[in-house]
Every structure is written in structure tokens, then in C-alpha cells.
Amino acid sequence: MVKIGILNLQGAVSEHYDMTKKAIGKLGVDIEVKSVKYAEDIETCDGIIISGGESTVIGKLIHERGIDKVIKQNNIPVFGTCAGMVLLGKKTDFDQPLMGLMDISVKRNRYGSQKNSFEAPIEIFGQEYLGVFIRAPSLESYDRTKKDIKILSKFDGEIIAIQQGRNIAISFHPELTDDTLIHEYFIKEVLAI
């Protein structure tokens, strides 16, 4: 059975869990969703979701627990939101541990502090979607020579969603909406179910 792990280190973990379950129900597929905290939990997963939160703290725990090594060794696709976008990159504007799974450079807190949080309509996968931005990062740059990189969405000229291979990084919080579109995409397209 396919398993999707929700990395339970910090952030909107229960919201991602609920949204993933809802997306699975809509798709009518047999997939197990589980909360994961350690490398040995992740070894059995076919996909991992990293929620928002404090990317420095999450990054340190990922590195200390060897989670990044397990993901790389097993080529497990990762869907990172907000802090997850930062962690997936190879470079950011702060000295912190990164997973480096995507050839991207990310600017932390691009849209300001917590009090600057906002919601705005965006377009992704050819559909309108409500983007929830909370201390959101944005893409600073990406390696344009990589053929497996695909821009998924922009907002005000900034890249806010990008895919490389089976990894997806987005700057906003789809788990804080009622729309399962992006979670369904991760399940269907990235896990090739």
C-alpha cells in the first residue's frame, strides 16, 4: 500500500493530514496517511509532506535525525509548503540547514512578517485557487538549465510554486483552505498513482 507521511516536527501538521485524507477520499484511492517524526518512519513512505513553521528549527531536526539522508537514498518525493519550500532549496538568504533536493534559491519571509499575512486569488494548474500567505517565502532563482523544472504558479511576478522531478515547493498554505487541488496533484502526478 502507498503511504504518504506528514512530517510532524512543527507547523500545520494536522491540517495537512486532514487535507491529504480528504484528497485521497476524493480520488477514491487506497493510500495510508501517517504522521512521521524519525528517519525509520520515513523509510516506509512513498511521499512526504513538509508543512510551514520555522524552517531553521525544522531543518535542524531533519538533519539531526537523518531524515534528509533517508529521503535522498530512497528518492522519496517531497511536497513542501512555506517553510517546506525553503528546506527543499539549495540556497536561501539565511544560514540554516537545507535539504537541497531542488535546484532553487529561496527568499525567506518575502511577503513580510506574521502581521503582513494575507489571502489572494492565484492561478495554478489552470484553475483559480485561494493562496494563503503567512510569512511566505518566494523563489529567488532556479537553475534554468534543468529540464525537469516546471513553474506551477506566480503571484505579482514572483514564482510561488515550482516542481522539479517529483518534488513540489510552494510558498503558500494549501492546507489552510478547503480546496484539495494541490494535494490531489501531489498524489496523482508526483506519486504517479
- pLDDT for 18-34, tens place per residue? 999 999 999 999 999 99
E strand segments, 8-102: 31-36, 47-50, 78-81, 91-92
173 is catalytic: yes
Tell me, what's the pLDDT at 108?
82
Q: Is 32 in the active site?
A: no
What is the structure's pLDDT at 19? 97
Helix, strand, or coil (residue 117): coil
| Residue 128 designated active-site | no
Q: Which pLDDT tens digit goes with each residue over 3-20?
A: 999 999 987 799 999 999
Could you tell me the CA-to-CA distances from 93 to 6, 28, 87, 105 in Å, in that order?
Answer: 26, 41, 12, 8
Active-site choice (16, 175, 183, 184): 175
Q: What does the pLDDT average to over 68-84? A: 96
Asked whether the predicted pLDDT for residue 115 surpasses 90, the reply is no
Alpha-carbon span 82 to 117, nearest angstrom: 12
Supply the mean pLDDT for the chain.
Answer: 92
- 148-174: average pLDDT: 95
- What pLDDT is attached to residue 135? 85
Selecting among 173, 183, 184, 189, the annotated active-site residue is 173
Which candidate in 82, 128, 140, 184 is catalytic?
82
Edge to edge, the sheet with strand 158-164 lists: 31-36, 2-7, 47-50, 78-81, 167-170, 158-164, 149-155
Q: Across residues 151-168, what is the average pLDDT?
A: 95
Give the separation between CA 21 and CA 125, rounded to whole angstroms.
Answer: 21
**Total H helices, total E strands in the chain:** 6, 12
How confident is the model over 137-151, as a mean pLDDT?
94
Confidence of residue 190 (pLDDT cuts 50, 70, 90): low
